[in-house]
Structures are given as C-alpha cells and as structure tokens.
Amino acid sequence: MKIKSYQIKSNDNSSTQLREIRQVFNNWVGKMLPNKQDVDTSDERTQNQKSNKSDAVNSDAVFIGWQKTPLGEAFPLYNVTAKNHPLYQSTVSDQTLREQNLKIPQTPHLQSDE
C-alpha cells in the first residue's frame, strides 16, 4: 500500500478563503449576540460606553457586548484592535485576550434580567 504525502500550498486563493471564513464566523457571532430588546439601554450603560471609548485607546480590544450561553451564563466579547496582531478585527473572549497577551479594556457590569 502506497501512502501519498500532501503539502499545503499557500496562495492568494487560500488567504481569500480564510477571510471569507472569518467573515462567516463574525456574522454568526453577531447573530448570537442578544437582541436589542435584551440589551440594557439605560443612561448608565450609555455613559459606560462613552468612557470605554477613551479606555479603548489604551487597550488592544474594544468591548462589544455580552454573549449568553444556552445555560443562561454570560461572557464578554471583544473586537481586537491591535493592528499588527494576527487576530486583528476578530471577535474574541476575555480568555483569548489573556492567552494572546493583549490588554483587556474596561468591561461594564452585566445587567441582571430581574
């Protein structure tokens, strides 16, 4: 039995495919975010978002919202803003930011659904 060895060749087409996969993933994550009716639109949250924009200048990411799991738990999501980083413009969790040694921006507290 003869075993063939395969090599992965890099070309412009493969990087285009990777960009398309990233776009599909980011669209999927966007659909998984809470609906506008689930998001707290209080004045306090608006003030937090404005202050977070100034904090984002000193971090490698921007807080974009909370992701709820099927069990009702929530975790923060961020977009990477470090331009020279391989995850630039990717949506990631705080755990990924830590693993990649990226600065985590100030994150607003999750509003309870009481």
Ranges of each domain in the chain: 36-114
pLDDT (average), residues 30-49: 53
Length of the chain: 114
- Give the DSSP per-residue string, 36-70: GGGS---HHHHHHHHHHHHHHTTSSEEEEEEEE-T
Return the percentage of the chain with pLDDT > 90, whole number. 38
What is the per-residue pLDDT across 69-99, written as a single tens digit (0 to 9) for each? 999 999 999 999 998 899 998 999 999 999 9
* Confidence band of 25 (pLDDT split at 50, 70, 90): confident
Is pLDDT at 45 greater than 60 in this prediction?
A: no
Q: Residue 37: CB partners within 8 Å, gap ≥ 6?
A: none
Question: What pLDDT was estimated at residue 10?
Answer: 54
- Which residue in this structure is represented by tokens 């331009």? 83
**Residue 75: helix, strand or coil by DSSP?**
strand
pTM value > 0.75: no
Is pLDDT at 27 greater than 80 in this prediction?
A: no
